[in-house]
Amino acid sequence: EVQLVEAGGGMVQPGGSLRLSCTASGFTFSSYWMSWVRQTPGKGLEWVANIKQDGSETNYVDSVRDRFTISRDNAKNSLYLQMNSLRVEDTAEYYCARGIMGAPRGLEYWGQGTQVTVSS
C-alpha cells in the first residue's frame, strides 16, 4: 500500500523557517517525481514545487522560489521542503504527492497534509 506521511508543520513567526518532511512507503520512491502542493483554508490548491527522480531537476512556483528548497533522499525514501523567510501568505496545509510513473502527468497519491501557520 502506498503511503505518504508528512511531518514538520507548525506555527512560526514571519521571517522564520520550517523544514517539512514526507516519508514514503509501499513503492520504489526513487522511480517517481515528487511534489509539494499547498492549500489555504477554504481556498484552492496551489502547486509549490517538484523534484525529479534523481534530484537533478527541481521546479518552483515564483512565489516561493529563492525561499523554499525541495530535496529528496532516495536512500531514506524521504522528500523535504526547506522553507525560509516565511510569510503570512505561506500559511496553508502542505501536501506531498507522488506523480504518475514517468514524466509529470498527474499526482496519483497524496499524503494527509501538514499545517503550516505563519503568524506573529
Partner 1 sequence: DIQLTQSPSFLSASVGDRVTITCRASQGISSYLAWYQQKPGKAPNLLIYAASTLQSGVPSRFSASKSGTEFTLTISSLQPEDFATYYCQQLNSYPHTFGQGTKLEIK
CA Rg value for the chain: 13
If the CB atoms of residues 73 and 108 are measured against partner 1, the closer one turns out to be: 108
Could you tell me the maximum CA-CA distance found in the chain, to the nearest angstrom? 42
If the CB atoms of residues 66 and 75 are measured against partner 1, the closer one turns out to be: 66
CB of 102 to partner 1, least distance (A): 11
Q: Whose CA is closest to 60, among 44, 78, 41, 82?
A: 82
If the CB atoms of residues 35 and 78 are measured against partner 1, the closer one turns out to be: 35
Q: What are the residues binding partner 1 (CB under 8 A)? A: 35, 37, 44-47, 50, 59-62, 95, 97, 100, 104-108, 110-113
CB of 36 to partner 1, least distance (A): 11
Cα 3 to Cα 9, 59, 78, 105, 116: the distances in Å are: 18, 23, 12, 20, 21
CB of 75 to partner 1, least distance (A): 26
